[in-house]
Amino acid sequence: MDRNLLIGMTEEFVRRNMKGYDSGHDWWHIERVRRLALYINEKEAIGDPFLVEITALLHDTADSKFAGRNMQQGYSLIGDFMDSHEMSEIKDHVLNVIKNISFSNKNNSAMANDPLLWVIQDADRLDAIGAIGIARAFNYGGFRNNRIYNPDSTRPKGGHTRPMPGSASTISHFYEKLLLLKNLMNTDCGKRLAEERHEFLEIFLRQFYKEWEFGD
C-alpha cells in the first residue's frame, strides 16, 4: 500500500481512539509531536521519515490515563491495527518505542540506544514545555481537579517559596517534571529547541510568584 495512504489511515485510527482524552492530549498534541519529530529527524539525519511519522502518530494511543482500557489492551489495539494495514514489519519496533517513551520510564535503559526513540521522546518532551507545555499542564491539572498552586505546602528556599514534592498542584508539576526535561533531551536539535521553551517556563514562574506574592 502507498505510504501516504497508510499515514492517512493511521491518522484516522488515532483520531478515533483518542476521543475522551483531555485537550492537552488531543489530536493537536499528536500533530505537534509529528511535526517536531519529522523536523528533528531531518535535522539530525536519523532515519526513515515514514517510521518516524507512524510512531509519532501512534505514540499516545495506548495511554491508560484516558482510554478506559489498560496499557496492554492499548498495545494490542495498535498491534492489530498495524497487522491489518501492512505494517507488521515495523510493528515490534514502533511498539517498543511507544512502550518506552514515557517520562515515568526514564530509568529504563533497555531501549536507550534506539534513534527512533530519541526523536519521538524529544518531540513529546518539547510539547510538554514552553507556552504550550504550560497550557497543557494547567489543562491536565483541571482535568484532574488539581489546584493551580498550593501555598500551604511550600517551604522557604532562596528567598522564595517553592512547592513541596507531591503537593498535587500544577505548579508543583513544574518541579517534578517540566523543569527537568531540558536536561533529558536526547538529540542536539532537541536540546537546542528546548532552550527557549525552558527559559519561558522560568519567566512564567517568576511572574507567577510575583503576582501571587503581591503586597508581601
Q: Which residues bind ligand ADP (CB under 6 A)?
A: 24, 102-104, 128, 133, 136-137, 140-141, 146, 170, 173, 177-178
Q: Would you give the DSSP letter of residue 169? A: B
Closest approach, Cβ 215 to ligand ADP, in A, equals 28
Cβ burial of 193 (10 Å; 0-12, 13-18, 19+) is: buried
- Asked if residue 54 lies in contact with residue 6, where contact means CB atoms within 8 angstroms, the answer is yes
- Asked if residue 49 lies in contact with residue 41, where contact means CB atoms within 8 angstroms, the answer is yes
Nearer to ligand ADP, 43 or 177 (CB): 177
Closest approach, Cβ 113 to ligand ADP, in A, equals 20
60 binds Ni ion (CB under 5 A): yes
Q: Which does 103 bind (CB under 5 to 8 A by kind): ligand ADP, Ni ion, none?
A: ligand ADP
Cα→Cα distances 55→21, 49, 50, 105, 183, Å: 19, 10, 9, 17, 23
Closest approach, Cβ 197 to ligand ADP, in A, equals 12
- Terminal CA-to-CA distance of the chain, rounded, Å? 65
124 binds Ni ion (CB under 5 A): yes
Cβ burial of 184 (10 Å; 0-12, 13-18, 19+) is: middle
Stretch that binds Ni ion, among 83-91, 120-128, 151-159, 160-168 (CB under 5 A): 120-128
Closest approach, Cβ 68 to ligand ADP, in A, equals 15
Closest approach, Cβ 141 to ligand ADP, in A, equals 4
* Number of residues that this document lists for the chain: 216
Nearer to Ni ion, 53 or 124 (CB): 124
53 binds Ni ion (CB under 5 A): no
Chain contacts with Ni ion (rule: CB under 5 A): 60, 124
